[in-house]
Amino acid sequence: MHDDLGTPLSLPAPPRRVVSLVPSLTEAIAVTAPELLAGATDYCTHPAGLDVPRVGGTKYPDLERILAADPDLVVANAEENRREDVEALRAAGVPVWVTFPRTLDAALVSLDRLLAALGRTTGPPWLAAARAAWAAPPVPAGRRRAVVPVWRRPWVVLGSGTFAGDLLARLGVRNCYADAAQRYPRPALSELLDQRPELVVLPDEPYPFSDRDGPEAFAGIPAALLSGRHLTWYGPSLAEAPALLAAQLAAANPR
Protein backbone atom coordinates (compact mmCIF):
# COMPACT_ATOMS: atom_id res chain seq x y z
CA MET A 1 0.00 0.00 0.00
CA HIS A 2 1.36 3.44 -0.93
CA ASP A 3 0.12 7.03 -1.12
CA ASP A 4 -0.01 9.32 -4.17
CA LEU A 5 3.71 10.11 -3.87
CA GLY A 6 4.62 6.43 -3.81
CA THR A 7 5.47 6.38 -0.11
CA PRO A 8 4.70 2.93 1.31
CA LEU A 9 2.41 2.73 4.31
CA SER A 10 2.02 -0.21 6.64
CA LEU A 11 -1.51 -0.29 8.05
CA PRO A 12 -2.02 -3.63 9.80
CA ALA A 13 -5.74 -2.83 10.12
CA PRO A 14 -8.09 -0.15 8.78
CA PRO A 15 -7.59 3.09 10.73
CA ARG A 16 -10.01 3.88 13.54
CA ARG A 17 -8.86 7.45 14.22
CA VAL A 18 -8.00 9.76 11.32
CA VAL A 19 -6.84 13.37 11.42
CA SER A 20 -7.31 15.23 8.14
CA LEU A 21 -5.18 18.22 7.17
CA VAL A 22 -7.00 18.69 3.85
CA PRO A 23 -10.43 20.39 3.81
CA SER A 24 -11.76 18.45 0.81
CA LEU A 25 -10.66 15.12 2.30
CA THR A 26 -12.11 16.10 5.66
CA GLU A 27 -15.46 16.47 3.91
CA ALA A 28 -15.00 13.18 2.07
CA ILE A 29 -14.26 11.29 5.29
CA ALA A 30 -16.96 13.07 7.30
CA VAL A 31 -19.62 12.22 4.70
CA THR A 32 -18.43 8.64 4.17
CA ALA A 33 -17.17 7.49 7.58
CA PRO A 34 -17.75 10.20 10.20
CA GLU A 35 -16.89 7.88 13.06
CA LEU A 36 -13.25 7.82 11.88
CA LEU A 37 -12.61 11.56 11.97
CA ALA A 38 -10.61 12.46 15.08
CA GLY A 39 -9.40 15.90 14.05
CA ALA A 40 -9.36 18.48 11.26
CA THR A 41 -7.86 21.88 10.47
CA ASP A 42 -9.44 25.25 11.21
CA TYR A 43 -10.12 25.57 7.47
CA CYS A 44 -12.17 22.38 7.25
CA THR A 45 -15.58 24.02 6.84
CA HIS A 46 -17.60 21.18 5.31
CA PRO A 47 -19.86 19.46 5.95
CA ALA A 48 -21.72 22.23 7.77
CA GLY A 49 -21.69 21.84 11.52
CA LEU A 50 -18.62 19.61 11.55
CA ASP A 51 -17.84 19.03 15.23
CA VAL A 52 -14.37 17.56 15.65
CA PRO A 53 -11.21 18.72 17.47
CA ARG A 54 -9.28 21.36 15.52
CA VAL A 55 -5.53 21.13 15.00
CA GLY A 56 -4.66 24.54 13.54
CA GLY A 57 -4.07 25.57 9.93
CA THR A 58 -3.11 23.58 6.88
CA LYS A 59 0.32 25.19 6.51
CA TYR A 60 1.10 25.40 10.23
CA PRO A 61 -0.84 22.73 12.09
CA ASP A 62 -0.26 22.18 15.78
CA LEU A 63 1.63 18.88 15.83
CA GLU A 64 1.07 18.43 19.56
CA ARG A 65 -2.69 18.64 19.06
CA ILE A 66 -2.49 16.14 16.23
CA LEU A 67 -0.55 13.67 18.38
CA ALA A 68 -2.95 14.27 21.28
CA ALA A 69 -5.78 13.09 19.03
CA ASP A 70 -4.02 9.69 18.98
CA PRO A 71 -4.47 9.10 15.23
CA ASP A 72 -3.53 5.89 13.50
CA LEU A 73 -3.53 7.81 10.19
CA VAL A 74 -3.09 11.44 9.15
CA VAL A 75 -4.26 12.54 5.71
CA ALA A 76 -2.29 15.33 3.99
CA ASN A 77 -1.73 16.87 0.56
CA ALA A 78 1.57 17.62 -1.16
CA GLU A 79 0.55 21.21 -2.00
CA GLU A 80 -1.56 22.20 0.98
CA ASN A 81 0.69 20.83 3.73
CA ARG A 82 4.39 21.24 4.46
CA ARG A 83 6.79 18.35 3.96
CA GLU A 84 8.49 19.07 7.28
CA ASP A 85 5.22 18.55 9.16
CA VAL A 86 4.57 15.28 7.33
CA GLU A 87 8.08 14.09 8.15
CA ALA A 88 7.75 15.12 11.80
CA LEU A 89 4.56 13.13 12.17
CA ARG A 90 6.12 10.09 10.54
CA ALA A 91 9.13 10.44 12.82
CA ALA A 92 6.69 10.35 15.75
CA GLY A 93 5.37 7.03 14.49
CA VAL A 94 2.17 8.25 12.82
CA PRO A 95 1.47 7.00 9.27
CA VAL A 96 0.71 9.88 6.87
CA TRP A 97 -1.15 9.40 3.59
CA VAL A 98 -0.22 12.21 1.15
CA THR A 99 -2.43 12.95 -1.86
CA PHE A 100 -1.38 14.82 -5.00
CA PRO A 101 -3.95 14.64 -7.81
CA ARG A 102 -3.31 16.95 -10.77
CA THR A 103 -6.25 15.89 -12.92
CA LEU A 104 -9.86 14.93 -12.31
CA ASP A 105 -9.16 11.32 -13.25
CA ALA A 106 -6.22 11.19 -10.84
CA ALA A 107 -8.40 12.69 -8.09
CA LEU A 108 -11.08 10.04 -8.55
CA VAL A 109 -8.49 7.27 -8.41
CA SER A 110 -6.83 8.89 -5.39
CA LEU A 111 -10.15 9.03 -3.55
CA ASP A 112 -10.85 5.39 -4.38
CA ARG A 113 -7.47 4.33 -2.98
CA LEU A 114 -7.75 6.44 0.17
CA LEU A 115 -11.25 5.20 0.97
CA ALA A 116 -10.07 1.62 0.42
CA ALA A 117 -7.23 2.25 2.89
CA LEU A 118 -9.87 3.42 5.35
CA GLY A 119 -11.62 0.07 4.98
CA ARG A 120 -14.38 1.27 2.61
CA THR A 121 -14.28 -1.30 -0.18
CA THR A 122 -17.54 -0.06 -1.69
CA GLY A 123 -17.48 3.43 -3.17
CA PRO A 124 -19.85 5.95 -1.53
CA PRO A 125 -22.82 7.35 -3.50
CA TRP A 126 -21.24 10.82 -3.79
CA LEU A 127 -18.23 9.38 -5.60
CA ALA A 128 -20.45 7.61 -8.13
CA ALA A 129 -22.42 10.85 -8.56
CA ALA A 130 -19.19 12.77 -9.19
CA ARG A 131 -18.13 10.33 -11.89
CA ALA A 132 -21.54 10.59 -13.54
CA ALA A 133 -21.59 14.39 -13.36
CA TRP A 134 -18.19 14.75 -15.01
CA ALA A 135 -18.80 12.08 -17.65
CA ALA A 136 -20.59 14.70 -19.78
CA PRO A 137 -20.15 18.14 -18.18
CA PRO A 138 -22.01 21.14 -19.64
CA VAL A 139 -19.69 22.94 -22.07
CA PRO A 140 -20.76 26.26 -23.60
CA ALA A 141 -20.36 26.82 -27.32
CA GLY A 142 -16.88 28.12 -28.10
CA ARG A 143 -13.82 27.77 -25.89
CA ARG A 144 -12.75 31.06 -24.33
CA ARG A 145 -9.12 31.96 -23.67
CA ALA A 146 -8.72 32.89 -20.04
CA VAL A 147 -6.28 33.80 -17.33
CA VAL A 148 -6.98 32.24 -13.95
CA PRO A 149 -5.49 34.16 -11.00
CA VAL A 150 -5.47 32.34 -7.67
CA TRP A 151 -3.65 35.09 -5.76
CA ARG A 152 -2.77 38.76 -6.01
CA ARG A 153 -0.01 40.91 -4.46
CA PRO A 154 1.77 39.28 -6.21
CA TRP A 155 -0.38 37.88 -8.99
CA VAL A 156 -0.26 34.08 -9.20
CA VAL A 157 -2.12 32.17 -11.93
CA LEU A 158 -2.89 28.59 -12.81
CA GLY A 159 -0.20 27.17 -15.06
CA SER A 160 0.39 23.64 -16.29
CA GLY A 161 -0.58 20.38 -14.62
CA THR A 162 -3.12 21.55 -12.06
CA PHE A 163 -6.33 19.90 -10.90
CA ALA A 164 -8.30 23.15 -11.21
CA GLY A 165 -6.91 23.72 -14.69
CA ASP A 166 -8.08 20.28 -15.78
CA LEU A 167 -11.60 20.98 -14.49
CA LEU A 168 -11.73 24.30 -16.35
CA ALA A 169 -10.52 22.69 -19.58
CA ARG A 170 -13.39 20.20 -19.33
CA LEU A 171 -15.75 23.17 -19.05
CA GLY A 172 -14.50 24.88 -22.19
CA VAL A 173 -11.90 27.25 -20.72
CA ARG A 174 -8.58 27.60 -22.55
CA ASN A 175 -6.01 28.64 -19.96
CA CYS A 176 -3.50 31.08 -21.47
CA TYR A 177 -0.83 29.60 -19.18
CA ALA A 178 -1.69 25.92 -19.65
CA ASP A 179 1.67 25.29 -21.32
CA ALA A 180 3.75 27.31 -18.88
CA ALA A 181 6.85 25.71 -17.42
CA GLN A 182 5.55 26.39 -13.91
CA ARG A 183 2.41 25.08 -12.32
CA TYR A 184 1.78 28.47 -10.71
CA PRO A 185 3.46 31.27 -12.68
CA ARG A 186 3.79 34.76 -11.19
CA PRO A 187 3.36 37.17 -14.10
CA ALA A 188 2.97 40.90 -13.67
CA LEU A 189 -0.48 42.30 -14.31
CA SER A 190 0.79 43.90 -17.53
CA GLU A 191 1.81 40.46 -18.81
CA LEU A 192 -1.62 39.04 -17.94
CA LEU A 193 -3.27 41.80 -19.95
CA ASP A 194 -0.83 41.26 -22.83
CA GLN A 195 -2.28 37.76 -23.19
CA ARG A 196 -5.48 39.45 -24.42
CA PRO A 197 -7.74 37.01 -22.58
CA GLU A 198 -11.39 36.76 -23.47
CA LEU A 199 -12.19 35.91 -19.86
CA VAL A 200 -10.67 36.24 -16.40
CA VAL A 201 -11.59 33.45 -13.99
CA LEU A 202 -11.53 34.47 -10.31
CA PRO A 203 -12.16 31.75 -7.71
CA ASP A 204 -12.87 32.80 -4.13
CA GLU A 205 -10.07 30.65 -2.73
CA PRO A 206 -7.23 30.48 -1.94
CA TYR A 207 -7.43 34.25 -2.51
CA PRO A 208 -10.92 35.58 -1.72
CA PHE A 209 -11.63 37.25 -5.06
CA SER A 210 -15.02 38.96 -5.16
CA ASP A 211 -16.97 41.41 -7.31
CA ARG A 212 -15.12 44.21 -5.48
CA ASP A 213 -11.66 42.66 -5.37
CA GLY A 214 -10.16 41.42 -8.62
CA PRO A 215 -12.37 42.30 -11.60
CA GLU A 216 -11.37 45.99 -11.48
CA ALA A 217 -7.84 45.01 -12.54
CA PHE A 218 -9.20 43.59 -15.80
CA ALA A 219 -11.38 46.42 -17.06
CA GLY A 220 -13.41 45.52 -20.13
CA ILE A 221 -12.75 41.78 -19.79
CA PRO A 222 -15.61 39.51 -18.68
CA ALA A 223 -14.95 38.18 -15.18
CA ALA A 224 -16.26 34.85 -13.92
CA LEU A 225 -16.46 34.64 -10.13
CA LEU A 226 -16.19 30.97 -9.25
CA SER A 227 -16.65 28.89 -6.13
CA GLY A 228 -13.13 27.93 -5.11
CA ARG A 229 -14.44 24.95 -3.21
CA HIS A 230 -16.00 23.50 -6.35
CA LEU A 231 -12.96 24.32 -8.48
CA THR A 232 -10.18 23.09 -6.19
CA TRP A 233 -11.67 20.57 -3.77
CA TYR A 234 -11.75 16.88 -4.63
CA GLY A 235 -14.46 15.23 -2.59
CA PRO A 236 -18.27 15.30 -2.37
CA SER A 237 -18.36 18.78 -3.94
CA LEU A 238 -17.27 17.23 -7.25
CA ALA A 239 -20.79 15.90 -7.79
CA GLU A 240 -22.32 19.36 -8.10
CA ALA A 241 -19.24 21.15 -9.43
CA PRO A 242 -19.82 20.83 -13.22
CA ALA A 243 -23.29 22.39 -13.22
CA LEU A 244 -22.39 25.12 -10.71
CA LEU A 245 -19.09 26.11 -12.34
CA ALA A 246 -20.62 26.07 -15.82
CA ALA A 247 -23.39 28.41 -14.63
CA GLN A 248 -20.86 30.76 -13.02
CA LEU A 249 -18.75 30.81 -16.19
CA ALA A 250 -21.83 31.53 -18.29
CA ALA A 251 -22.75 34.44 -16.02
CA ALA A 252 -19.44 36.25 -16.63
CA ASN A 253 -19.96 39.92 -17.52
CA PRO A 254 -17.58 42.65 -18.74
CA ARG A 255 -16.22 44.81 -15.91
Look at residue 130 and tell me if it is in a domain: no
pLDDT for res 219: 92
- CATH value at residue 36: 3.40.50.1980
Look at residue 128 and tell me if it is in a domain: no
Same domain, 175 and 95: no
Domain end among 123, 154, 184: 123
221, 199 contact by CB (below 8 A): yes
Same domain, 146 and 185: yes
Rounded to two decimals, the pTM is 0.93
pLDDT for res 142: 63
pLDDT for res 234: 95
11, 95 contact by CB (below 8 A): yes
Same domain, 170 and 211: yes
Look at residue 159 and tell me if it is in a domain: yes
Domain span holding position 90:
18-123
Domain end among 66, 95, 123: 123
255 residues of the chain, pLDDT tens digit each: 889 999 998 888 899 999 999 999 999 999 999 999 999 999 999 999 999 999 999 999 999 999 999 999 999 999 999 999 999 999 999 999 999 999 999 999 999 999 999 998 788 999 999 999 999 998 876 668 999 999 999 999 999 999 999 999 999 999 999 999 999 999 999 999 999 999 999 999 999 999 999 999 999 999 999 999 999 999 999 999 999 999 999 988 665
Look at residue 189 and tell me if it is in a domain: yes
Same domain, 78 and 23: yes
pLDDT for res 132: 96
pLDDT for res 253: 66
Same domain, 91 and 144: no
pLDDT for res 57: 94
Same domain, 108 and 54: yes
Same domain, 208 and 144: yes
Same domain, 190 and 245: yes
Look at residue 135 and tell me if it is in a domain: no
Domain end among 123, 155, 177: 123
Look at residue 55 and tell me if it is in a domain: yes
Same domain, 155 and 108: no
Look at residue 163 and tell me if it is in a domain: yes
Q: Phi and psi at residue 105, in whole multiples of 5°?
A: -60, -45
> Which positions ≥6 away from 94 have C-beta within 8 Å?
66, 67, 71, 72, 73, 74
pLDDT for res 185: 97
pLDDT for res 252: 87
pLDDT for res 13: 86
Q: C-alpha angle with apex 136: 132 to 140, nearest 5 degrees?
A: 140
Look at residue 134 and tell me if it is in a domain: no
The residue length of the chain stands at 255
* Total domains, the chain: 2
Same domain, 146 and 114: no
Same domain, 161 and 246: yes
74, 60 contact by CB (below 8 A): no
Same domain, 171 and 227: yes
